[in-house]
Amino acid sequence: MPLSVQTFGLLVLSNLFMTFAWYGHLKHQAAKPWLVAALVSWGIALFEYLLQVPANRIGYSGGYSLAQLKIAQEVITLAVFVPFAVFYMGQPLKLDYLWAGLCLIGAVYFIFRA
């Protein structure tokens, strides 16, 4: 499997877990004490770490720089967060997501240019 598929595929999967860990409790556990939400979120985040750590190690050992991995993670975060916010959390789709995405495209350009 290509290095980019391994690295970025695992980062996408890890970000799905992290997004649910960070924000899913706002929908399902809003009435529960924050400690309960934190413990549940930590349980979910464990799976994020089990995917993100290998993804970063694979990418870094394969030649991606630390900055490239971080910027890729930010792009993936927005790509995962927007559908999560709109479809799962019922938030309105905002034009601001487009502007944020365009800024990230600039970041990708500068970090990945040769």
DSSP-H helix ranges across 30-65: 34-61
Give the per-residue pLDDT at 105.
Answer: 96
| 49 has a pLDDT exceeding 90 | yes
Listed in sequence order, the residues at least 6 apart from 111 whose beta carbon sits closer than 8 Å to its beta carbon are 65, 67, 68, 71
| 23 has a pLDDT exceeding 90 | yes
Give the per-residue pLDDT at 30.
Answer: 84
Query: 3-state class of 18 per DSSP?
Result: helix
Whole-model pTM?
A: 0.91
- Write out the two tokens for 9: 């595929």
